[in-house]
Structure 1
Amino acid sequence: MNIHTIFGAGGAVSDQLLPVLLNNKENVRLVSRTVKQIDGVESVAADATNYQQTLQAIKGSSVVYLLIGLPYDIRVWRAQWPVIMTNVINACKETGAKLIFFDNVYMYGKVNGWMTEETPFNPCSKKGEVRAGIAGQLLQETRAGNLQAMIARSADFYGPVGFKTSVPNLLVIQNLLKGKKSQWLGSADQPHSITYVPDAAKALYLLANKPEAFGETWHLPTSSELITGRRFIQQAAALMQKPDGVTVIPNWMLSLAALFNVTMKELKEMNYQNEYPYLFSSEKFNKAFGFTPTSYEEGIKETVAWALKNNQ
C-alpha cells in the first residue's frame, strides 16, 4: 500500500495538499506533534527532532512531504532544523521512502534579476544560512545516491490559508476585513512574486508522481506577472469594496519594533526581500508539466472570497 505522509500536518501548505491527495484516492498519513483526527486519514503524533518517533512515522511511506514550519525564531531554527533534516533523511534512507522538501528562497540572498533553480546559494541573513545548510545537506545525500529526494521551492505565498504564515494575507486581507488600512513591508512599489498555495499543493502531487523529477530542485508554479504590493492591495480592496490606501512599514520602523518584539526582529532581517525586486521564476516546472499558474487577479479573487466567507 502506497502511503503519502505529510510531516507538518495542519500547516498552510499541508491543508491545501491534503484534499489533493484525497481527491486522487491516495492513502494519507498526517504527522504532527499533536494528533488531529480527520475522517479517512491516518494521524500520527511524532516529534521530528526525535529519530525513533520520526522513523516510526515514516515506516510504510512511499512519499514523505517535509512541510514542517518552525516558530519564526533564529534560535529555534538553528537548534532544530539540522536535527529535523538529519532525522527525516536517515528515516527515508532506512525505509526507502522518497522525500520532497518544501523550501523557501532565503538561501539565495539578495538576487539581481529572476530567481531560478540555478541561482547560487548566497545567503545574507542568519535564517538564510540555516536554510542553505539543510538544503545543501539534502542535495549532498541525493547526489550521493543515498535516497530519492527533491527540493520544491516556493516564493512568499498567499491564498485561502489563514493569516499566520502569509504576510500578504495578514497585512492586506486581514486588515481590510477589520476596516483598517492595508500595510506592506519595505516598498509597495517594487515587483514581488507571490506563490498561490493551491497551485503549490497541486504541483507537489504532480512532482511526487513523476519519478524523473526526483534528484532535482523545482520552483513551484508562480505567476510571471509583475505585481507590486500596491497593485495587490488595489485588487483586494476593490473586491472587498474598501479603500485601497496603504501604510508602508519602512526599515526604521521595523528596527524600532524589533527592540520590543522578537517577530519584528526576525522580519527586519529579511526585509531586504521587500526593498528590492523579488522575482521568482517557475518556468522549468511550467514547461515540464504544461502548467499555467493562477493569475494574481484570480488568486486574489479566490483569497478574498474565502476570507469573506470565513470572516477570518
Structure 2
Amino acid sequence: MQKNKQVLVLGASGDIGGEVARQLREAGWQVRALKRALGVERRVKDGIEWVEGDAMNRADVMAASAGCSVIVHAVNPPGYRRWAELVLPMIDNSIAAARAQGATVVLPGTVYNYGPGALESPTEDSPQRPTTRKGAIRVELEQHLETACSSGEMRAIVVRAGDFFGPKAGNSWFTQGMVKPGQPVKTVRLPSSRGVGHQFAYLPDVARTMVELLARRATLPGFATFHMAGHWDADGTQLGQAVQRVLARHGQTQPALKPFPWWMVRVAAPFVPTLREMLEMRYLWQCALRMPNQRLLDTLGQEPYTPWDKAIEATLVGIGCLKAPDSARMVEHDQLAQPKTVG
C-alpha cells in the first residue's frame, strides 16, 4: 500500500470535491484534479494540479491517478439526471484505478441508502432497504466498492452524511429550495413536515472528517463506513431559526419561516426531471431518520463540528445573501463559537 501524499480528486470543481481538495492541499497533500474541457485554463491553480479528462473515461482516470495513494470519488451526475447510466460506470473506473495504484477510494455517502422503512437511527451496519431508484443505485455503488476491497488490492472509506449546506454548496437543498442565493433573505422555506426532524451536514465539517480519516487509513478496515451526526434539526425549524438569529445580529429584518411548496413540485414534476427526483426523495422530509456517529467518535475521538450559527453565517456570506462581517466581529464570533464533540 502506497504511503505517499498524492491524491486524485474526481469532482473537484463541485461542492464536496472542491472542499475536500482544498483541505487536503492545506494538510500537505499534492492534489491532482480531473476536469473535462479544461482548455486553456491554468493547469496549476491555488496549489492544485488540474488535468483534462472525464470520469466516464477509464483511460483518463487511470492516467490521472498514476502515483496517487488516494482517489476521492466526489463526482455525481448533475441535477439528479442520468444516475442509472452514469453512477456505476464512474465508480467502476475509480475502482480500476485504485486497484492499479493500490490506493484508497474516499466516497462521500448519503442517507439515500436508507428507505422509509429503515430504523430511525440506522447504524453503519443496519439493513438499508432503499425504495427509491437513487437509493438502490447508491447501495449498489457501495457494494461495488466493498467487493473490490475484498481482494486486498485497494481500500475504501465511505462517509455518509445528511443534506449538505455551506459557503460553496451551490447544489444543495439550502440554496435551491430554502433560500434564494445572491439576495437578502426574506423567506426561508422549510421542507420538513410539521415537527419532523432532519439531518444536515456542514460541508467544511464533512471534508475535515474525510481528511482526518485518511490520516488514519492504515488502521481502518479495508472497507470502512462511517456516519456523521452533523447538524440535527429536531423539528424542521431549527435551521430556519439559525438564519433568523444570524440576520438579527447583522441588523437585518428576520425572514419569515414558511412551508416549502411541495404542491408546486407535484404539479410541475411530470414535466421537470429534477422535480420528479425531488418528489421521490420527499420521504426524507417526512420521516425522522437520524444517523448516529458512534463509530466515528470511537475512531477520531470527536467529530469535526461547526456550531449552527457560525456555519449558517459563513454559508449566507458564501452564497451572497449577507456581507462578510468585519474582522473584529469575526474574531469575536470565532472565540464564542468553538467546535465541539457531537454524538
Using structure 1 for the length normalisation, give the TM-score. Answer: 0.90
Judging changes above 3 Å, is the alpha-carbon distance between structure 1 residues 145 and 103 closer, same or farther for their aligned structure 2 residues? same
% identity of equivalent residues: 24
1:309 match: 323
* Structure 1 gap ranges (5+): none
Alignment of 1:69-80 (within 5 A): 69-74=76-81, 76-80=82-86
Q: CA deviation at 1:226?
A: 4.4
Equivalent residue, structure 1, for 2:278: 267
Mapping for residues 127-138 of structure 1, pairs under 5 Å? 127-138=134-145
| Residue equivalent to 1:218 | 226
User: Is 1:183 the counterpart of 2:197 in the alignment?
Assistant: no
- Superposed CA deviations along residues 109-157 of structure 1, whole A, max 9, x for unmatched, are 1233113212222111011111111111111221342421121222111
**Cα displacement string for residues 72-102 of structure 1 (whole angstroms, at most 9, x for unaligned residues):** 335x111111111111101111122221111
Provide the residue aligned with 1:236 in structure 2. 243
Equivalent in 263, 273, 284 of residue 295 of structure 2: 284
Change (3 A) 1:176 1:306: closer
After TM superposition, give the deviation of residue 221 of structure 1 in Å. 5.2
8 Å CA contact retained: 1:175, 1:182: no
Aligned residue pair count: 308
The secondary structure found in structure 1 opposite 2:254 is: coil
Aligned to 1:106: 112
**Aligned-residue CA RMSD (Å):** 2.3
Distance 2:144 2:80 in 1: 21
Answering whether residue 209 of structure 2 is matched by residue 203 of structure 1, we say: yes
Alignment correspondent of 1:97: 103
**For 1:73 and 1:27, how far apart are their aligned partners in 2?**
31
1:175–1:84: structure 2 CA closer, same or farther, 3 Å change rule? closer
Letter in 2 for 1:56: A
1:13 matched to 2:27? The reply is: no
SS in 2 for 1:253: helix
Distance 1:176 1:19, change over 3 A: closer
Kept in 2, the 8 Å contact 1:203–1:221? The answer is no
> Does 263-272 or 150-159 show the bigger shift?
150-159
SS of equivalent residue, structure 2 residue 64: helix
Q: CA deviation at 1:272?
A: 0.5
Structure 2 Cα separation of the partners of residues 50 and 99 of structure 1: 17
Q: Which residue among 79, 90, 97 is the counterpart of 1:84?
A: 90
1:157 aligns with 2:164: yes
Q: Name the CA shift for 1:235/1:40 in 2 (closer, same or farther; >3 Å).
A: closer
Instruction: Indicate conservation of the 8 Å contact 1:6/1:14, yes or no.
Output: yes
In the alignment, the residues of structure 2 paired with residue 100 and residue 128 of structure 1 have an alpha-carbon distance, to the nearest angstrom, of 19
- Match in the other structure for 2:311: 299
Asked if 1:248 is matched to 2:254, the reply is no
List runs of 5+ in structure 2 lacking aligned partners: 325-343
CA-to-aligned-CA distance 1:23-61 (integer Å, 9 cap, x gap):
222111011223353132211111111111111011111
Distance 1:221 1:22, change over 3 A: farther
Distance 1:259 1:207 in 2: 42
**In the alignment, is the contact (CA less than 8 A) between 2:10 and 2:74 conserved in 1?**
yes
Distance 1:26 1:40 in 2: 10
Preserved CA contact (<8 Å) 2:104 2:154: yes
Q: Could you tell me how far 1:188 is from its partner in structure 2?
A: 5.0
Q: Distance in 2 between matches of 1:176 and 1:31?
A: 29
Q: What residue identity is the alignment partner of 1:269? A: E
- Counterpart contact for 1:191–1:228, Cα < 8 Å: yes
Distance change in 2, residues 1:185/1:27 (3 Å): same
Stretch deviating more after TM superposition (119-128 or 14-23)? 14-23
Cα distance in structure 2, aligned partners of 1:54 and 1:145: 20
CA distance in 1, matches of 2:267, 2:10: 36
Deviations 1:253-279 (Å, cap 9, x if unpaired)? 322120232211110000000012131
Moved more, 194-203 or 104-113: 104-113
1:243 Cα offset (Å): 3.4
SS at match of 1:138: helix
What does 1:42-61 align with in structure 2 at a 5 Å threshold? 42-61=49-68
Structure-2 change in CA distance of 1:297 and 1:119 (3 Å): farther
* 2:139 aligned counterpart, secondary structure: helix
Contact 1:2 1:60 survives alignment (8 Å): no
2:27 pairs with 1:24: yes
**Which range moved further: 170-179 or 103-112?**
170-179
